Chains A and B, each alone.
Chain A
Amino acid sequence: MDTPALEIRQLVAGYPALLGLRRTQVLRGLDLSLARGAVLGLAGPNGSGKSTLLRLVAGVERASSGELRVLGGSVADAAVRRRVGYLPEDSPFPPELSARAMLELCGALARMPRELAQRESARLLALVGLEHASRKRLGSFSRGMLRRFGLAQSWLHAPELLLLDEPTAGLDAQGFEVLGTLLGEARARGTAVVIASHLPGDFTDHASEMAVILGGRIALRGGVRELLAGRSLLELYRTPPVSAHAG
């Protein structure tokens, strides 16, 4: 438990532009560390690289350069990736499968024993309020239902690091409650959590600290109440408080 959940140094990442002739840099030498059991809110304007950072940590994409240690290991290591839970931004789950079948598939992919995967799938579907829709195809789900399903799949294998990309986008009041319950479980298990969001409420309700990405780097980092004291996120992006520090 001594190694941090996340250690990032000088991370550079981007995507190809102009028919692959050049790369647009999204992250430009980002540094970040996260202790085990901590809950970090990740803020930043659109295109600042929040989702890219989470995709890199989840192992969906690779960085151009820099160091990325996840749970003390390399994200290229399959065994490390299996200890990470990830809620993608767009809920890109196969519309052809039922919620139950998809959760069981996720369990099998994460090498969970079949019975455990079935038991956890049923428990989590009940927890996120989708028990009644467990046999319905994901293609018939509303956006909010898909977000709740996404939360369930990210938590299925009891990861040690949980990455949530805009978890409340499209959620209703019950969904907010579901997120709270799930994060309560995560805290109780000592899971480190990163929540990328545009809603200050997501940080004040769930995070213990907060980081703001501006210009491809962590521009601000500090306590949630300290950073958001009387300020909107937009004000925070434009005029960073003097007391906050980068890193």
Chain B
Amino acid sequence: MILRGLVRLAFVRALRPAPCLVGAGLLAWVLATSSISGSARLAAGEEFAPLWEHGALRNAGWSLAALFGLSWIALQALGTLSGWRRRDVDWLAPRAANPLALLLSTWLGLLLALGLLAFASAVAVELSAGRGLASWSEGPRAIRGEGGWLEFGSTRGEVLDCGALPAGSHLRLRFAFASGGPDARVLAVLRDPAGGAELARREQSVGTGGDLELACPAVPARAELRLACTEPGLRVYHDASAARVWLPESSERAASLALLARLMLDAASLFAFALAVSGWFSPSSGLFALLALALVALGSDTGVWPLSGLGGALAVLREGRVPAWPSARECAGSAAVSALSLALAAASLVRWRRER
């Protein structure tokens, strides 16, 4: 089913020297000039500033690699079928090869080309970022439910719904819509569900909206979280849907691997989709469809299934932290979209041959 020669042809055509040199030059320029902004340094605080410095570099490098690599090779995917019908038809058509084998092989070649570009980018980014500091990787959602208002004088209780946590984990809570004053203060206390012993406590200002990060010891499953607004006369909304666990990670360098995985997963869907759209319509229609999808993929924090939320992952990178690896659901979604798109592209080739 896989035609090695066609995999190689797609790979070589996608990695033409001129665009690779342009991409490498842009990446070098971005890595040489990117640094953390003053406001980002303030937001990071003293404790996290070194991670954010590396994160700024990683974010810039990966944003460029993702945008340039994905769009360049998606363009190759868009031009593939029209190229077969035009310049390659004389040697390809008489061989009567299986259309699905042609498409699967080409799709693999394009993915391998992006894989090589992304791997080279990862090496360049990590060499520029320097030694890898200990960091945190994005864990599961911490609390089920919607959340609610914290009023001064009353306490809101939540239960952690993410299993037991290892020592060194962080719990990030998000607050918003503070009203009644310029600066809301929030107290968060984590308690052992058996016996009620206090595990961790933090009180801080969240302004009119912001995050509170609670450093945790080893936490048993279903620990209790008590939240209170400590500023008299103020209220603030706790957004439970944004509450996240951050698990300790030995090196921030894992960020590049996680992003590489997400990039490849999105590329698999997008390249197959590009082959299908350009097969049934035209490369230019496919280009507009892909642009729309790319904007959604990069603009969404949570991801639009089956796309894996590359934009959210790049935002995590900015803090020097490690984005979550693609979930089984995301992988299954990408596999389904890829398979369906390749089948549609193959059908377009069959139709084209029949109508010629």
Contact = CB atoms under 8 A, between A and B. Distances in A.
A44 B11 CA distance: 41
Interface stretch (B2-10, B50-58, B143-151, B269-277): B2-10
A83 to B, nearest CB: 10
Contact of B9 (A59, A60, A97): A97
Interface stretch (A24-32, A86-94, A189-197, A228-236): A86-94
A202 interface: no
Interface in B91-109: 91-97
B90 interface: yes
A108 interface: yes
A61 interface: yes
B356 A101 contact: no
Given A96-B12, A105-B9, A58 B94 contact: yes
Question: Interface size bucket, B side?
Answer: 20 to 34
Interface string A93-110: 110110001101110111
B99 to A, nearest CB: 10
Interface in A75-90: 76, 78-79, 81-82, 84, 86, 88, 90
A109 B90 contact: no
B201 interface: no
Given A96-B13, A101-B8, A108-B5, A82 B96 contact: yes
B8 A108 contact: no
Nearest to B89: A60
A37 B12 CA distance: 40
Nearest to B98: A78
Contacts of A61: 356
A82 B92 CA distance: 11
Given A60-B90, A92-B87, A82 B95 contact: yes
B3 A105 contact: yes
A152 to B, nearest CB: 12
Contact of B5 (A55, A76, A104): A104
A134 interface: no
Contact of A109 (B3, B87, B356): B3
A52 interface: no
B88 interface: yes
A62 interface: yes
B5 A58 contact: no
Contact of B95 (A76, A104, A109): A109
B8 A109 contact: no
A179 B247 CA distance: 70
A168 interface: no
A105 B5 contact: yes
A87 to B, nearest CB: 9
A93 B95 CA distance: 13
Given A90-B90, A109-B92, 18 more contacts: A58-B94, A59-B93, A60-B90, A81-B94, A81-B95, A81-B96, A92-B87, A92-B91, A94-B88, A105-B6, A105-B9, A106-B91, A108-B3, A109-B5, A109-B95, A109-B97, A110-B95, A153-B91
17 contacts: A55-B90, A59-B96, A78-B96, A81-B96, A84-B94, A90-B90, A92-B90, A96-B9, A101-B5, A104-B5, A105-B5, A108-B3, A109-B3, A109-B97, A110-B95, A111-B97, A153-B91
Interface of A: 55, 58-62, 76, 78-79, 81-82, 84, 86, 88, 90, 92-94, 96-97, 101-102, 104-106, 108-111, 153
Interface of B: 3-6, 8-9, 12-13, 87-97, 354, 356
Leading 5 A-B pairs by shortest Cβ distance: A105-B5, A78-B96, A109-B95, A88-B90, A81-B96
